[in-house]
Amino acid sequence: MRWIVLIPALAFGLAACEPAAVSEPDIGTPGNAEATVTDEVVLSIDVRSTVVNLNTPSEQIPVAVWGSEVFDVYGIDVASATFGPNQIARLHDFTLESQTDHVRDINEDGFVDLLFHFDKLAAGFEVGVADACLSLVHNDIPLTGCETITVVAQGGGPPK
């Protein structure tokens, strides 16, 4: 799993929230994380497949947002979520109160997680290595978390 540490941009006079990716955070493991800076928000996302084939029958890219001791997914404005270079909206309309398969403890760590699905072609990825970024609003703070994916177009010519 890759952690994305996001610091609200307004605290530093930046135009947008800029992530600083860390591979081995000092904040511990999911479920045991402790934020040491009060303005720091920890957002952990997981693109459920790090290789995305534009020519497969599946039209969706699932993206999980991991809940933790310091990140409550119930603070997310699900309508604000956008994904990919084209910043597309989610495919499924749901609310945090709906208790669907989208709002549950996906990784079985004791914290509720959130699962979004996005249209893989509409997302705007091109073949190659890309940053798959999810932007959303959490407790009125805009955040962006990214994970590196590999995009391929295998099995019959250009992407559908």
d(CA 124, CA 43): 23
- Which pLDDT score is estimated for 24? 34
- Which pLDDT score is estimated for 26? 37
Q: Where are the domains of the chain?
A: 44-152
Q: What is the CATH number of domain 44-152?
A: 2.60.40.10
- Which pLDDT score is estimated for 95? 77
d(CA 158, CA 13): 42
- Which pLDDT score is estimated for 82? 96
Query: Which residues pair with residue 21 across a beta bridge?
Result: 4
d(CA 71, CA 44): 9
d(CA 76, CA 109): 19
End-to-end CA distance of the chain: 30
Per run of 10 residues, the mean pLDDT along the chain (length 160 residues) is 34 34 36 36 72 85 91 93 95 77 90 92 94 93 91 68
The identity of residue 61, as a single letter, is: I
CB 71 within 8 A of CB 45: no
CB 3 within 8 A of CB 65: no
- Which pLDDT score is estimated for 15? 32
User: What DSSP string runs through 53-111?
Assistant: ETTSS--EEEEEEE--SS--GGGEEEEEEEETTTTEEPSS---GGG--TTEE-TT-SSS
- Which pLDDT score is estimated for 156? 53
